[in-house]
Chain A
């Protein structure tokens, strides 16, 4: 590696292998402050709380592994885990396909900025707004979607109150809000693919499908992998939509993990147990992320 002691200070060197430690520390200082104080420190205290009984009114009491023993024997925890995974599978599955389709269509069909802006529109509104709007559109009696179902001869569906429908409903509402955002990220990735590749392929008679498989997908892979990691982690943390619409019902059918954690912490003041549930969620996310990161080699690009 570098031999640090050879040159005197006063000699201006233009060595390529110059060490930038001082500048780097300066550059990462603000972000590191935020990271340490508002992410790492809460993480550590959160883990500590998971081994305690803590009502936030009195100081935490150390109880060892009690919360984790309770977690493994808690049927509601396993229900909420199953519900969350079902949500993520529907949400990410539909969203990724739709977003990729929109991004590719935008890339191949038109340069219209208006179209691209319109596609992003749902991401401009908050989860709260999206939830309230679809609470109305999918209302069993008066919602326009159920009215339209009636026109073509179907019975109204209780999207928010039916145990089978509630999770697909929440998942698709969030697809509506996030598909444009995801498409924009993928679109940014598509821009990095040199256009001469498509021109060359077209000259040789390749069709759109062939170009998608042989050019777009392989070169988009790093961005796609990055986007998948982000959206899956985000998806596991679904809360707002459920909190505004069903609050976990009917009969725990939409009780996603974060909703259950929230209930324990803020409704029952069992912050110790809520922290243990959070640790479980954290472990799940870590396993998924690392598996994905190494499987898809997200850090590498075929363009290098």
Chain B
């Protein structure tokens, strides 16, 4: 790893001496301080809502109304979480501002994991192969076919939702996890476009050297291009996983029962069940936190690896 914060050498280049070196060497770096200040403000804006979720989830819903401005939990209790996991009896839940309805969290978690994992693995691989074909293989009609893929980026989601729903219904896959996965299982035009940009940037000399040594193009793809692109592939896989995990609208249409209900849909149900006047904010925030937690945990485990790997793009 290289660190960019190396000490400045004391001898400044003589040519630039007249212009740049007039400032004293130990001057306070105002520019850097200002830049850090901006960064800190962005971080506060970014992270505050997460803290507020936690603070509200740990508060008693009835106490929230009297002390809305307290930065610590008010009437500290775990009632919100208990309502999410269905651990409270109906009477207690209603007296604490909930609806009394419970949700089967573990089932929804399992459904979300199956859907997001399958989509990520299959889609990333399928799109990497396609991107390679568009980037490095020579075949007639390549540019035309790529334009068709590119054009499909412009199809608004709402355009495909109902025709796809009818298709899934005709296939008998409504209310199944396969039905939820199928439309995005093999294709993300964004992924193909994104990977193609990276494949285009990989030096051709490396590839041609392997080809002259007698390797086939498919071998070059699996043993050379894929490993060299591990950084963008990892980034893309992570983004695909998040997209699949956070998808709401399509899952809502396809799933009717617990058998195929994923976390986002369950959250929507929980929100809809919350009383309209004086919503159960404590329970709602506990639910949003629970729905987001696995993603945050997964990211905490893999973020360092992925963020670090982004630096190695094979350009340098």
> Are B187 and A127 in touch, CB under 8 angstroms?
no
> Are B288 and A35 in touch, CB under 8 angstroms?
no
Q: Write the chain A residue with the least CB distance to B50.
A: A121
> Are B292 and A125 in touch, CB under 8 angstroms?
yes
Distance from B13 Cβ to chain A, minimum over Cβ atoms (Å): 6
Q: CB-defined interface of A104-134 with B at 8 Å, one 1/0 digit per residue?
A: 0110110101111111111111111110111
Main secondary structure of the interface of A (DSSP, over half): helix
Main secondary structure of the interface of B (DSSP, over half): helix
> Are A111 and B130 in touch, CB under 8 angstroms?
no
Q: CB-defined interface of A24-39 with B at 8 Å, one 1/0 digit per residue?
A: 1101101111110111
Q: Residues of B contacting A148 with CB < 8 Å?
A: 69
Would you list which residues of chain B between 55 and 75 have a CB under 8 Å from chain A?
A: 56, 64-65, 68-69
> Are A137 and B13 in touch, CB under 8 angstroms?
no
Say which size band chain A's interface belongs to.
35 or more
Verify if A174 is at the interface (C-beta below 8 Å from B).
Answer: no
Among the stretches A66-74, A161-169, A184-192, the one at the interface with B is A184-192
Q: How far apart are the CA atoms of A258 and B38 in the complex, in Å?
A: 35
Distance from B55 Cβ to chain A, minimum over Cβ atoms (Å): 9
Q: Residues of A contacting B172 with CB < 8 Å?
A: none
Distance from A168 Cβ to chain B, minimum over Cβ atoms (Å): 15
Tally of B interface residues using CB under 8 Å? 112
Given A28-B129, A41-B163, A208-B31, are A105 and B153 neighbors across the interface (CB < 8 Å)? no
Q: CB-defined interface of B146-179 with A at 8 Å, one 1/0 digit per residue?
A: 0011011111111110111011000000000000
Verify if A11 is at the interface (C-beta below 8 Å from B).
Answer: no
Q: Select B311's contact among A19, A119, A123, A191, beta carbons within 8 Å.
A: A191
Q: Residues of B contacting A181 with CB < 8 Å?
A: 239
Q: Residues of A contacting B127 with CB < 8 Å?
A: 31
Verify if B25 is at the interface (C-beta below 8 Å from A).
Answer: no
Q: Write the chain B residue with the least CB distance to A151.
A: B69
Q: A134-B49, A188-B231, A204-B15 are in contact. List 10 more A-B contacts (CB 8 A).
A: A14-B212, A27-B129, A41-B167, A109-B32, A128-B246, A136-B56, A142-B281, A147-B69, A244-B271, A261-B158
The 11 sampled A-B contact pairs (Cβ below 8 Å) are A14-B212, A27-B133, A30-B122, A31-B186, A43-B155, A56-B162, A121-B50, A124-B242, A132-B271, A137-B52, A191-B315
Identify the B interface with A (CB < 8 A): 1, 3-4, 13, 15-16, 19-20, 31-32, 35-36, 38-39, 42-43, 45-47, 49-50, 52-53, 56, 64-65, 68-69, 122, 126-127, 129-130, 132-134, 137-140, 142, 145, 148-149, 151-160, 162-164, 166-167, 182-187, 189-190, 192-194, 197, 200-201, 211-212, 214, 217-218, 221, 231-232, 235, 239, 242, 245-249, 264, 267-268, 271, 281, 284-285, 288, 291-292, 295-296, 299-300, 303-304, 307-308, 310-311, 313, 315-316
| A-B pairs with lowest CB-CB distance, top 4 | A34-B187, A34-B186, A42-B163, A126-B246
